[in-house]
A and B are shown apart, each in its own frame.
Chain A
Amino acid sequence: KNEVEQSPQNLTAQEGEFITINCSYSVGISALHWLQQHPGGGIVSLFMLSSGKKKHGRLIATINIQEKHSSLHITASHPRDSAVYICAVRKTSYDKVIFGPGTSLSVIP
């Protein structure tokens, strides 16, 4: 079992829909990172959070440390949101980053 899991693996949504991508992990962490990778390969950092909730534009990220779970929400989705969304964590006792397998999102006009 991977230490970082994401669901769903693939997601197709209609433009305007509310989208949720989930990340669960099995190790102790100091913080969690959400990344967006576009089809060309470039990766953009979306959020880094260790508790509570962060919001940036139409994106909202939440984390529950006790439940070892984080969600990334996209409101009013748009085709330009189509990308792979990756969750990453760093263990508290090691200096090692663990990446989830990614969720491939496709938003259809």
Chain B
Amino acid sequence: ETGVTQTPRHLVMGMTNKKSLKCEQHLGHNAMYWYKQSAKKPLELMFVYNFKEQTENNSVPSRFSPECPNSSHLFLHLHTLQPEDSALYLCASSQVSVAGGLHEQFFGPGTRLTVL
């Protein structure tokens, strides 16, 4: 496997289900990201992990719970979602430095989530 992989690619779930999205990066990066892309809206950054520590949470509802067990893996645990949470969820990774700035991010193919 190369680059950034995501599973599953498609997911349909009911509002009472619990599911998890998985992301794995094979690039040796130290930062990973979850993004949400709803229809006809710009990409929204949800969570950022630098060196396995969560450094950003952009007011995401608690029904989305991220987990980063190591620098190569990132999960997004989902529970009691709403139909408006249906979207494309994209994972990305990058190599960040202490100087900050915009580091080139490499994206996974995304998980298309539908909440019924």
Chain A residues within CB distance 8 Å of chain B = 2, 4, 29-33, 35, 40-45, 48, 50, 86, 88-90, 92, 95-97, 99-102
Given the interface contacts A41-B88, A42-B107, A42-B109, does A30 sit within 8 Å of B100 by beta carbon? yes
B101 in contact with A90 (CB, 8 Å): yes
When distances are taken between beta carbons in the complex, the residues of chain A under 8 Å from B20 are none
A100 in contact with B42 (CB, 8 Å): yes
In the assembled complex, the CB of A32 is this many whole angstroms from the nearest CB of chain B, namely 7
Q: By the criterion of a CB under 8 Å from any partner CB, how many residues of chain B are at the interface?
A: 25
When distances are taken between beta carbons in the complex, the residues of chain A under 8 Å from B102 are 29-33, 48, 50, 88-90, 97
In the assembled complex, the CB of B50 is this many whole angstroms from the nearest CB of chain A, namely 9
B100 in contact with A44 (CB, 8 Å): no
Q: How far is the CA of A97 from the CA of B112 in the complex (A)?
A: 22
In the assembled complex, the CB of A52 is this many whole angstroms from the nearest CB of chain B, namely 15
A45 in contact with B100 (CB, 8 Å): no
When distances are taken between beta carbons in the complex, the residues of chain B under 8 Å from A99 are 42-45
Q: How far is the CA of A7 from the CA of B104 in the complex (A)?
A: 23
Given the interface contacts A41-B90, A42-B109, A86-B43, does A95 sit within 8 Å of B104 by beta carbon? no
Closest to B55 in A: A95
